[in-house]
Amino acid sequence: MSGLRARQKADRHRRIIEAAAELFRDAGYEGAKIETIAAQAEVSVGTIYNYYQNKGDILGAIVSMEVNEVLNAGRGVVANPPANVGDALDTLLGIYIEHSLHYLSKEMWRQAMAISTQLPDSPFGQAYSALDRALIEQIRALIARLQALGLARRDIDGPALGELIFNNMNMMFIEFVKREEARIAELRAAIRRQNRILVAAIAA
Amino acid sequence: MSGLRARQKADRHRRIIEAAAELFRDAGYEGAKIETIAAQAEVSVGTIYNYYQNKGDILGAIVSMEVNEVLNAGRGVVANPPANVGDALDTLLGIYIEHSLHYLSKEMWRQAMAISTQLPDSPFGQAYSALDRALIEQIRALIARLQALGLARRDIDGPALGELIFNNMNMMFIEFVKREEARIAELRAAIRRQNRILVAAIAA
DNA sequence: TTCTAAAATTGAGTCAATTCCGATTTTGTG
DNA sequence: CACAAAATCGGAATTGACTCAATTTTAGAA
C-alpha cells in the first residue's frame, strides 16, 4: 500500500497546494474558486475535498510549510545567539518577521489567522495552535540559552517571559497584516522599542 | 427628516440586534441564518442588508456595545487606581476579562475576532481596531497615572509598555476563547504571572 | 387633502462552497 | 491475468450569504 499509490497521493497533494498558492496570491483567497484550483491542479472538485476538509485547510497546509521553515531558520539563532539579550531577541524575531511574507501575502495571513480562531478545532486550527506553541518554545529556548550563557538573569521567569514576548510580537504582526500599507521595518522597530523595556529588566 | 422615519429606523436597528443576539447565543454564529434573524426581527432579508453591510457587522454592533461598557468600567480604575503597580494592572485587566463573557459567548468572540482580521476595512473591522486602540489608551492612561502618583518609575517608556501589556492580554484572551474549557481564573493567573516580570521592572 | 420625489422595504434570484453518489478508472495482490 | 478495494470523476443537489429591480412608504410642498 505504499508504492505508486502513495506517490500519486503525494503528487496530487503537491499539485493542489501549488495551484492554490498561485491562485490565492493572484486572485486572493475569496477570489480563488475551488473549481479553478481543481482545474489548475488537474483533479476534480471531489478529489480536493477528499484531500482537504475545506478551503481553509488548503490555505492551512501552505501556512504550515511557511511556519515550519521559519522554525528551522530560528534554530540557528537559538544555537548560536548574539552576545546580548537585545540583539538576540531582535535577531530571532527578525527572522520570523522577515520570512513571513516570502510565500504568503498579507491577505493570506489574514485569512489564515481568521480561520484559526474561527475554527480552532479544525485540522488547520489545531495545526496553527501547535505552530504557535512551537514558536513560543523556541523563544523560551533562546531565553534559557541566554540564561545559561550568563547573559540574562537566572531569577527571571523564563517561560512566562517567552510567552509574553511571543504574544506581543504576534499581536503586532496581526495588526501589521491588517494594514496593507504597513512596512516591515516599522514593525520591527516598534517591537524592538517594546522589548527594550524587557531587555532592561532581564539583561544580566 | 427626523420624525416617524427616524423612529422606525432606530426601532428596526434594535429589533435586528435583539433577534441576532438571541440567535447567535442559541444557535451560534453560523447557525443563525440571516433569514431567521430577519423573520424574528419582522423585517425582510433585504432590509437587514440595508442596515448592515454583512452578517459580521451585525455581530460587530453587539460586540461594540460590550467593549464600550468595559471601557466605561475601566475609567473608574484609572481615576482611582490601587496603590501598587501590580494590583492596579490586575484590577484593570480583571475588569476587561470578567466583563467579557457577560453578553458574548466564546463562540461569538471567536467569530468577531476572526471577522475583524479577515475584513479589517469593513465597518466592523475598523470599529474593532478603534476599540482595541481605546483599550490600549486606557492602559496607557493608567500607567501615566501611576507614574504621576510616584508608584511607577518615570523613566519607563509608558506608551510602549501599555501596548505591550495590552497585546499580551489580548493574545491570551484569544487563546482563552479558542478553548471552550479554559477558565477565567486560570487566564487571569497566567496574565498576572507574565505581568509580574514587568511589574518588577517598573515599580518605583 | 393630494401629489411627487426620495428613501426604504421586499423577496426572488445569483453565486460559490460543500455534499452526494453512481459510474469509471486505477492499484495491490493472489 | 483477474478480482476486490481504493480513489477519482463529474455533475447534480443543497445551502446560505448577499444582490437588485420592482414596489411601497414617508416627508413635505402646493
Q: Is the pLDDT of residue B2 over 60?
A: no
pLDDT for position A3: 59
- DSSP secondary structure string for all residues of B163-202: HHHHHHHHHHHHHHHHSTT--HHHHHHHHHHHHHHHHHHH
Q: Under 8 Å CB-to-CB from A197, ≥6 apart: which residues?
A: B156, B157, B160, B161, B164, B198, B201, B202
Amino acid (one-letter) located at B158: G
Residue linked to cell 502618583: B149
Counting DSSP H helices and E strands in chain B, the numbers are: 9, 0
- Band the pLDDT of B6: cuts 50, 70, 90: confident
Q: Under 8 Å CB-to-CB from B182, ≥6 apart: which residues?
A: B175, B176
Q: Which nucleotide is nearest to A47 (CA to C1')?
A: D8
Span A111-167, pLDDT tens digits: 999 999 999 998 899 999 999 999 999 999 999 999 999 999 999 999 999 999 999
**C-alpha span between B200 and B202 (Å, rounded):** 6
Name the A residues in 35-54 with CB < 8 Å from any B CB: none
Q: Measured at the alpha carbon of residue A65, what is the angle toward residues A176 and B180, in degrees to the nearest 5? A: 70
B203 strand-pairing partners: B152
Is any atom of nucleic acid chain D found less than 7 Å from the CB of residue B10? no
Span B15-53, pLDDT tens digits: 999 999 999 999 999 999 999 999 999 999 999 999 999
Q: How far is the CA of A44 from the C1' of D18 (A)?
A: 27
Tell me what the pLDDT averaged over chain A comes to: 94
**Under an 8 A CB cutoff, do B117 and A178 touch?**
yes
Instruction: List protein-proximal bases of chain D (any atom < 7 A from a CB).
Output: 6-12, 16-21, 26-28
Q: What sections of B42-84 are H helices per DSSP?
A: 45-51, 55-79
> Average pLDDT of B74-102?
96
Residue linked to cell 430577519: B38
**C-alpha span between A195 and B3 (Å, rounded):** 55
Span B101-137, pLDDT tens digits: 988 999 999 999 999 999 999 999 999 999 999 999 9
**Under an 8 A CB cutoff, do B167 and A168 touch?**
yes
Q: Do B188 and B97 form a contact (C-beta atoms < 8 A)?
A: yes
Span A13-49, pLDDT tens digits: 999 999 999 999 999 999 999 999 999 999 999 999 9
Span B139-184, pLDDT tens digits: 999 999 999 999 999 999 999 999 999 999 999 999 999 999 999 9
* B114: chain A residues, CB-CB within 8 Å: 113-115, 117-118
Closest of B104, B69, B167, B178 to residue A174, by C-alpha: B167
Span A83-108, pLDDT tens digits: 999 999 999 999 999 999 988 999 99
Closest of B98, B50, B51 to residue B73, by C-alpha: B98
